[in-house]
Amino acid sequence: KAGVTQTPRYLIKTRGQQVTLSCSPISGHRSVSWYQQTPGQGLQFLFEYFSETQRNKGNFPGRFSGRQFSNSRSEMNVSTLELGDSALYLCASSVGQQYGYTFGSGTRLTVV
């Protein structure tokens, strides 16, 4: 079966711009979570969506937002980009709570 698909794989943006990342979960997985991965901070939870509702949220500023569509596909948006937002953004889907995630390959965002 198809895995978690994230697009684009790589992105270069300028400070102050905004960006939208996309994630298509495994068919049948209704929970989609987003993580930021950096060498300094490791894997940090951004938010989780289930049935189009944000169910859990991490400790990130309001510039980070997301949404989920009726087909479970999800997008995350980062506005007013800062250099520190440069990271690998990972999307993960699961069948439900406390089941292991299936991660996508991530979107590598570079802010210059």
Partner 1 sequence: GENVEQHPSTLSVQEGDSAVIKCTYSDSASNYFPWYKQELGKGPQLIIDIRSNVGEKKDQRIAVTLNKTAKHFSLHITETQPEDSAVYFCAASRANFNKFYFGSGTKLNVKP
Q: Which residues bind partner 1 (CB under 8 A)?
A: 4, 31, 33, 35, 42-45, 48, 50, 55-56, 58, 90, 92, 94, 96-98, 100-106
Q: Smaller CB distance to partner 1: residue 19 or 94?
A: 94
Based on DSSP, count helices (H) and strands (E) in the chain, helices before strands: 0, 11
Instruction: Give the other-Cβ count within 10 Å of 93's Cβ.
Output: 25
**Which of helix, strand or coil describes residue 57?**
strand
Q: What is the smallest separation between the CB atom of 61 and partner 1, expressed in angstroms?
A: 17
C-beta of 56 vs 110, nearer to partner 1: 56
Closer to partner 1 by Cβ: residue 24 or 94: 94
Rounded to a whole number, what is the largest CA-CA distance in the chain? 39
